[in-house]
Amino acid sequence: MKQIALSQVNIEDIVLVLNESFADYIIPLQLTVEQLKNKIESENIQLNLSVGIMDQEKLVGFMLHALNTIDGQLTAYNAATGVVSSHRGQGIVALMYAWLLEQLKPLAVQQLVLEVIEGNYAAIRTYEKMGYHTARKLICFEGETDVIKHKEVGEIRTLPDFDWPAFQSFWDIQPAWQYTITALENSKSRCHILGAFKKEKLVGYLIFNPTSKRVLQLAVESNQRRKGIASQLIHEMQQITKARAVYVYNIDDRDMAVAAFFKHLDLTSDLAQFEMRRAF
């Protein structure tokens, strides 16, 4: 078996091994070529820093890595790791990490970040042995909901662009990797942006993907919460998508206001992940 940079592998082959690796996962994952291309673009995945394992010219394992600056530190993010079932237990993950660490040394990377499903105890123990610690818990919500528009609490407008200084002033918690400013700027063409205004002042916003019905960011000014603004934003999203479905992934569980809001919408929350970090 040999290590190879995924920049030397056809994306179709990466999709095949990804789907085979995750077919029997706790939460099965299947991507199309187009979906993987979108993921690579939005999450800033570097295929030259992503590694695959070849066995007799067949790709049997992979590890996707991205780069971004988080909390002032150049960070390498493990966007996905998988090994096909026939090759598990053969030390392939360790082989891939050894290759990765050698590539990262000259880049002055300061920390490594990954996410692991809460119930995947074997993976959690493996990462802890590699020096990772749990930094925070990320919770997910999904389902169909009827958001009733009781009254106008503000004017909802579609915004032509992100207003990050205003948006960030509403944040209590930093977003997960997939929903950082960099990730959303990279995927702007697939985003719809709504702003909530009171007397011409922006008091809340919602960024979502109208195709996947996924909420990417939602925040309301602290003194305007619990007044129906978030509900009005979700209601407008449902009018645009013409669907009751709402998907929200990787919300920091310390962001209690946002978590309480989605629970109030009766969305299910059956999945949680740990964000794990280690110094480099």
Mean pLDDT, contiguous 10-residue spans, the chain (280 residues): 95 96 83 96 97 95 95 95 93 93 94 94 90 96 88 90 98 95 96 97 98 97 94 96 96 92 93 95
First to last CA, the chain: 26
Exposed e or buried b per residue across 144-159, where buried means at least 16 C-beta atoms within 10 angstroms of its C-beta = ebebeeeeebbebeee
State the Rg of the chain over Cα: 20
Q: How far apart are CA 127 and CA 106, in angstroms?
A: 23
pLDDT at position 151 is 72
Structural domains of the chain in order of their starting residue, each with its CATH number: 2-109 (3.40.630.30), 141-272 (3.40.630.30)
**Secondary element (H or E) of residue 66:** strand 58-70
* One-letter amino acid of 128: E
pLDDT at res. 161: 98
Residue of 12, 15, 7, 48 lying closest to 31 (CA atoms):
15
pLDDT for 150 equals: 66
Q: Which residues contact 77 (CB under 8 A, 6 or more apart)?
A: 43, 65, 66, 67, 68, 112, 113, 114, 177
Backbone φ and ψ for 188, nearest 5 degrees, come out as -55, -35
- pLDDT of 29 reads 83
Check residue 232 and give its pLDDT.
95
Three-state SS for 46? coil
Burial readout 178-190 (b: 16 or more C-beta within 10 A, e: otherwise): bbbebbbebbeeb
d(CA 180, CA 174): 8
